[in-house]
Amino acid sequence: MPSDDLKKTIQHNFSMILQRRELQTRPGQKKMIAEIARTLCAVEQDEEGRRISAEPGVCVVEAGTGTGKTLAYLLGAIPVAQALDKKLVIATATVALQEQVLHKDIPDLLGNSDLHFTYALAKGRGRYLCLSKLDNALRNNSSADALRDLFQMEIAETGKNDHVLYEQMLESVASGQWQGDRDDWPQVLEDDTWRAVAVEHGQCSGPRCSYFSSCCYFRNRNNLEKVDCVVANHDLVLSDLALGGGVILPAPGDSIYVFDEAHQLPVKGISHFSHVLRLGTTDRWLEQFPVAANRLDQALQDKGNLPDLLSGAADLSRTAREKLQEVMLLLQEYASRAESVSARGETSQFVFPIGVVEPAVAMSIDALGAEFAGMAGKLERINEVLKACMEEEQGEMDRMQAESWFLLFGAALSRMESAAICCLHFSRSDEIGAIPSARWLTFNESSSNPDTTLSTSPVMAAENLQEKLWDTCYGAVLTSATLTAMGSFEFLSRRCGLPQSSACHRIASPFNYTEAAVLRLPRSGFDPAKVEAHTAAITTILPKILFEPGGSLVLFSSRRQLLDVLSALDPVFRNRVLAQDDYSKQELLRLHKSAVDEGKSSIIFGLAGLAEGIDLPGAYCRHVVIAKIPFPVPNDPVDATLGEWVKAQGRNPFQEISVPEAALRLIQASGRLLRKESDRGVITILDERLLTRFYGRGILDSLPPYQREVFDG
């Protein structure tokens, strides 16, 4: 339980915020603050502040829209973190929410309370300029030429325009006008142009680098060690955990995490522990490696151990390439059995049933992984020599040359390590009875860049999150407006591997859903199983229901259906439509809001990416139309593998996985309508299965209590 002093601190500051901002007390917000503080304070610790409880303090709060959850978790967690001498790490899933927390919510809290704490934004290395790589890009030398040779498939060759840009970057950093953050550069930077000068883990020599004292990334990282609260995103937190924790962010044992938009944590957790190996790209890279190694060897003029190490690495690259080509030939037999996953048919996939790879293929890929691991070992020895040259006055080469080479071989080492790890996970067998990993092949037959890709991924994040997060952190808060599926936290708990002692709470929204929104459903005429008829029915009904001035949002589960409906609409009506693929997200929303502000009608056609994370209050969204129940894509390898495994256990994957997932997605999508208590509007779901199929009632009952209307199609 929180101490009396801690309770008084929280209550005093809560009252002060309400008074200064002239806010009404929200019972749900008050309860959320109390439950967070109670859960975090229940963790047992030793005299040095280390957690000794078997499980961390985990508070899971589904807080309906309008609860004021950001203020609740800030006020509930920050005083506790300070009292326990822990760092608070706030992770959001979207940039928009991150910016809101950083630039609005935290300043509001500090400005309207007696709380005092410091905070900073954390970003990954890849968002920062590497001064060593910038220097290398501006110089013409053998290392720079070799770097371009090795990565010509991935990093566009630095052209004249890039050279001018890099000169501008150097001047801006030197003058103090720019701190090396990509997001602060005044113009949009192309990915290839930025990647050539960005910080990367494998290429970073840390304190050994000549530019370490001026390093843009480490300057920011050092600042993180001094603040009380770190604002990051899910991806950065998971990247840090995947590296062991405490590499980029504060150590998990010294941290209390807040995962806002926590409904995305299971999917994010899967992606961060997956592995991909592009065989064709790797083959071309291995072909080029001996050429680049020979060029570097000539520059050494038989000095020290490096010539022998280079020669050995070149030999290993040749044998690895031979084995790789054997694997590529072996895998070609699966191309004829693969299913198309692209509109034009140039990309196809073969998913190994329940993740089980045939023994002959597994043995061959395991042998390939051993080749990659052997080459990684040789590259590691080269890097050790280069590190020594950077530290010693007298080495096999001067410091600056060693730094340039380290950029090259650090990247090469990262590539080979990643390739070896992917082969290991792809070729190994899952433990009997354990949840399997998904394993699949992707064949890209495009004439410009044909390739075969190995992919492997856990089908649930539970095991990795338990090992990397729950077993190591002090405490955590998971919150979102949508965490329960079919009225239960079980779906989230199973996918995230939540500790058994987790405290789960549902806090209702203060919105009066029955008065604010009408949910309209078709009795018949809208069966998604009849694809052409369903598309035609949507095309016919949209002009009839989207006629008022103001904004509307139409969400599709299929890009093909979106395009088919768009092309079939009457040209006059189609002029009111803004399609997601035609604009960037920011430009799409800008054009939409501008049209509504002018008193016009504007309709956004979007896919799943617009079903959450966008805010269109008031007249910007009076009507949300959802084309069909957003069930998971049936050909997704991860979902398919999980479904096969669940079925093999004698359970029903549709009921256990597809229906709860669809319910969560539908809640998120329908939630785009009501963003403020004053909002009013209509939600139309053009899928008769909600009324005609056995699972429809359960999905409908999981939605907020909108007023319902049924219409004839």
Q: Say yes or no: 444 and 562 in one domain.
A: no
The string of DSSP codes covering 416-463 is: HHHHHHHHHHHHSPPPTTSPPEEEEEEEE--SSS-EEEEEEEES-SHH
Q: Say yes or no: 592 and 692 in one domain.
A: yes
Per DSSP, 485 falls in state B
Q: Say yes or no: 525 and 633 in one domain.
A: yes
Q: How far is CA 506 from CA 57, 62, 63, 509, 659, in A?
A: 17, 5, 6, 10, 20
Q: What is the CA radius of gyration of the chain?
A: 28
Strands 707-711 and 550-555: unpaired
Q: What is the mean pLDDT of each run of 10 residues along the chain (713 residues)?
A: 91 95 90 97 94 96 94 97 97 87 95 96 91 82 53 46 87 93 89 86 86 89 91 95 92 97 94 94 92 76 78 95 97 92 82 96 98 96 89 72 83 94 96 93 83 96 96 97 94 96 96 96 96 97 91 95 96 94 89 96 93 89 97 89 94 95 94 93 97 96 96 85
The structural domain count of the chain equals 4
Strand partners, 556: none
* Last residue within a domain, chosen from 490, 507, 524: 507
Amino acid in position 159: G
Q: What is the largest CA-CA distance in the chain?
A: 85
Distance in angstroms (rounded) separating the CA atoms of residues 595 and 606: 17
The shares of helix, strand and coil residues in the chain, as percent rounded to the nearest 5, are 55, 15, 30
Contacts of 232 (CB under 8 A, 6+ apart): 89, 90, 91, 92, 98, 121, 122, 123, 249
Give pLDDT, residue 294: 80
Q: What is the 3-state secondary structure (H, E, C) of 562-610?
A: HHHHHHHCCHHHHCCEEEHHHCCHHHHHHHHHHHHHCCCEEEEEECHHH
Residue of 24, 56, 27, 26 lying closest to 39 (CA atoms): 56
Q: Say yes or no: 253 and 279 in one domain.
A: no
Distance in angstroms (rounded) separating the CA atoms of residues 689 and 628: 9
Q: Say yes or no: 91 and 195 in one domain.
A: no
Give pLDDT, residue 302: 61
* Last residue within a domain, chosen from 418, 438, 457: 457
**Structure-block tokens of residue 475:** 């405490």
Q: Say yes or no: 526 and 398 in one domain.
A: no
Q: Say yes or no: 303 and 214 in one domain.
A: no
Give pLDDT, residue 621: 96
Q: Say yes or no: 11 and 113 in one domain.
A: yes
The whole domain housing 522 covers 513-711
**With the CA atoms of 421, 422, 423 and 428 taken in that order, what torsion angle do they form, in degrees rounded to the nearest 10?**
90
> For 600, phi and psi rounded to 5 degrees?
-95, 170
Query: Cβ(599)–Cβ(549) under 8 Å?
Result: yes
Contacts of 586 (CB under 8 A, 6+ apart): none
Q: Say yes or no: 615 and 640 in one domain.
A: yes
* Last residue within a domain, chosen from 204, 220, 236: 220
Strands in 451-458's sheet, in edge-to-edge order, are: 275-278, 451-458, 437-444, 347-351, 339-340
Q: Say yes or no: 187 and 47 in one domain.
A: no
Distance in angstroms (rounded) separating the CA atoms of residues 38 and 701: 31
Q: Say yes or no: 373 and 244 in one domain.
A: no
**Structure-block tokens of residue 161:** 């325009």
**Structure-block tokens of residue 112:** 């309207």
**Structure-block tokens of residue 277:** 């190996």
Per DSSP, 307 falls in state H
Distance in angstroms (rounded) separating the CA atoms of residues 67 and 395: 63
CATH number at residue 238: 3.40.50.300
Give pLDDT, residue 390: 85
Residue of 573, 578, 633 lying closest to 610 (CA atoms): 578
Q: Say yes or no: 466 and 350 in one domain.
A: no
Residue of 203, 248, 251 lying closest to 221 (CA atoms): 248
Q: How far is CA 17 from CA 14, 25, 50, 61, 293, in A?
A: 5, 10, 32, 22, 64
Give pLDDT, residue 391: 81
Give pLDDT, residue 153: 41
